[in-house]
Amino acid sequence: MTDHFQESLTFFLPQVALIILAAPLAAKAAVRLGQPKAVGWIAAGVLLGPSLFGKITPGLFGILFRPAEVGLTSPEVGEKLLTEILIHSEWGLILLLFQMGAQFNFSHLWPKRSGDSAPLFKRSLAISLVGIAAPFTLACLFARPLHNLVGANVPYGPFVLFLGISMSITALPILAHIMEELGIHRTRIGTATITSGSSDDAAAWIFLAAITNVVMANFNIWVFAPKLFLLFGVYFPAMIFVIRPLLRRWLVGALLRNKGKLSLEDLGLLLGCVLLSGWITHLLGIFAIFGAFLMGAMVSGTGRVRRELNRHLGLVTSLFLPVFFTSTGLRTDIGGLNNVNGYLLLAAVLVIAVGGKFACAFAAWAGKGGFSIRESLCIGTMMNCRALMELVALNIGRELGVVPPTLFTALVLMALITTAMTKPLLVWLAPGTELEPYLCKNAALPKAVPVQA
């Protein structure tokens, strides 16, 4: 065992070093091109993977990333290497989703009784509902031909469910980052989009957790029904009504004792709770990341806690998180789509994903008090952003064996394309809308008045 450990370490360290070196360079290049860092991280993985690096220098690629396949090590060590990379990236994902839960603004999920907020909230709920129903329905309608195009021995039921949820996702964290960077998050359009995206995100997490539980139980109702009851009927209420007030009371006291700072000891206790929550959701038939997100949601709403978590967990974005994004790209082989079926699959995925989300524009425009056509298209553009949430769902589906490699590649490319197109398309649609003074350099219009949700 010791020999295997030392042998795997020989290959593990240069793999992670190369990823960590490449990720920030790709992130900087993406930012210079007006894209989020996540786009650069995913692109770095695709370039380092079999799609480019593996094609240009297959020997060096094999030595670095597939040592077992080129005979440099045993299959057992090769499997151990893959497991270590996945665990390393899983750490980043667990900590990131904990941060996401802590930063989730639940106030967007219900209206405040002031001014135009209630009509705007109802419009946002309609946008969110369409943003989930339209792409999921389109995915179900086209699931049979897509299943035939993939040609893999994948059960049809799980295939349909994961295809539908992957099309319905909006990546709120990346979208919120883009909106804050552009300064449009407090406009009327921005408020409607964040509210819609929050509802979409919350629903997506619930559906993804339920679908994961059902698929892992192999659709056996006697297996998944008790676990779903324990998850949604016992664990969730216990977290909300028992754990949340206890956590908040303890965190407020910890901050008071340390002059507004969260000590490393308190942070350690909090992270222990995160891992415990992840372990419980894992036992209940879903992945540990759901427990991490839920624990983060329990401490949300406290600004000082969020700031302290961001200060302490900066390692997530600099070390663990790029490994998750880049390792996802490493498993993406664009060459696998290099035939007519592959091109048709990618085109169909893009049409369903983009078309389904742009149905949100109709929900934003239709009826009394709706947005203008260009404003509605801006909302559809932002709801079409996927990135992180998409990759989380795809990796879950791949681990469960219901997302075959060709579909995985097509969906990763879809996530990359829909994220990359968000800012350029927003800039193109902005003239004549309240976003014009924020996105158009020569605009002379006054800035829009912020609207509260």
- pLDDT at residue 447 above 50? no
Burial class (CB in 10 A: 0-12, 13-18, 19+), 64: middle
Distance CA 384, CA 360 (A): 9
Distance CA 172, CA 388 (A): 9
Structure confidence at residue 136 (pLDDT): 92
Measured CA angle at 413 (ends 407, 417), to 5 deg: 145
**Which span out of 103-112, 149-158, 275-284 was modeled with the highest average pLDDT?**
275-284
The identity of residue 209, as a single letter, is: A
CB-CB contact of 330 with 65 (8 Å): yes
Distance CA 296, CA 313 (A): 13
Structure confidence at residue 450 (pLDDT): 42
Structure confidence at residue 310 (pLDDT): 73
Residue-averaged pLDDT of the chain: 80
- Backbone phi and psi for residue 50, each to the nearest 5 degrees, phi listed first: -65, -15
Find the range with the poorest average confidence among 88-92, 230-234, 366-370, 373-377.
88-92
Q: Which of 55, 206, 193, 59 is nearest to 131 (CA)?
A: 193
Distance CA 377, CA 238 (A): 41
The identity of residue 50, as a single letter, is: P
**Which span out of 66-70, 178-182, 321-325, 417-421 was modeled with the highest average pLDDT?**
417-421
Structure confidence at residue 188 (pLDDT): 85
Q: How far is CA 163 from CA 156, 157, 203, 399, 402, in A?
A: 10, 10, 16, 14, 9
- pLDDT at residue 420 above 60? yes
Structure confidence at residue 79 (pLDDT): 64
Q: What is the pLDDT of residues 310-329, one digit of tens each?
A: 777 776 666 777 777 777 77
**Which span out of 44-53, 345-354, 409-418, 439-448 was modeled with the highest average pLDDT?**
345-354
Reduce the DSSP state of residue 250 to 3 states and report it.
helix
- pLDDT at residue 441 above 80? no
Q: What is the pLDDT of residues 188-217, one digit of tens each?
A: 888 888 888 877 877 877 888 888 888 887
Structure confidence at residue 448 (pLDDT): 41
Q: Which of 145, 186, 134 is nearest to 383 (CA)?
A: 134
Let me know how long the chain is.
453
Between the CA atoms of 162, 225, 217 and 273, what dihedral angle is there, to the nearest 10 degrees? 80
